[in-house]
A and B are shown apart, each in its own frame.
Chain A
């Protein structure tokens, strides 16, 4: 078993950089009043993109999540794109 495990190809993945940490302007623009920016982090179905995919740092993911939820309440951004 150990042999097999070792033989398994490990794909190299570059560590994703947090888009907010690498771009202070983007971080400053992170706001529920900026749906255009928020849409970058929302899937086609309207779901919040997990940070393992978007590479957002934990602290910014928490803020992003909060802002998306505020924007959703004001109907600036969808909760879901189905069922209506």
Chain B
């Protein structure tokens, strides 16, 4: 605990859908400035655009996703989480430790900044991208509903048979 370990962290946060794209950019800059002031080099920023949420959060059904990969100490991540939590336009944030004990000198920035997640580059406010995620959810919901009705039908059929037998007996 004597030395501050540098780690690679990634933070994803969801911005409320009623925040305009300009304001989202401002928020992004604020976070970038914060990380810079904490001397945490940002490896990569990603915008996942406006996606439909799998379930509503604070009555919002959509949200703008932002993602940042950065190097920092445990304090850095904690401070970023605190700031995001205080910000009312941020619905949710998740910080995940990617790598432990990173040597800043030999860290391969190029390799890490070149990668991208499957959700990246969906662009801002493009509805086609946000619908992609929801298709599956809706389909599975429908399938679930049909499965339910089948079960109910079977149960009813079973009951009918039982009644028939009773009458015969």
Q: A residues bordering B, Cβ < 8 Å?
A: 29, 31-37, 39, 44-46, 70, 72-79, 81-82, 84
Contact = CB atoms under 8 A, between A and B. Distances in A.
B123 interface: no
10 contacts: A33-B119, A34-B117, A44-B144, A46-B140, A74-B65, A74-B94, A75-B57, A75-B63, A76-B51, A79-B55
A38 to B, nearest CB: 10
Interface of A is mostly: loop
Interface string B85-114: 000000010101000000000000000000
Nearest to A81: B141
Interface of B: 12, 14, 51, 53-57, 63, 65, 67, 92, 94, 96, 117-119, 133, 136-137, 140-141, 143-144, 147
A72 B54 contact: yes
Contacts of B137: 78, 81
Contacts, number: 59
Given A33-B118, A44-B144, A44-B147, A73 B55 contact: no
Contact of B56 (A32, A33, A84): A84
Contacts of B118: 29, 33-34, 36-37
Contacts of A72: 54
Contacts of A33: 12, 67, 117-119
A74 B54 CA distance: 9
Contacts of B14: 74-75
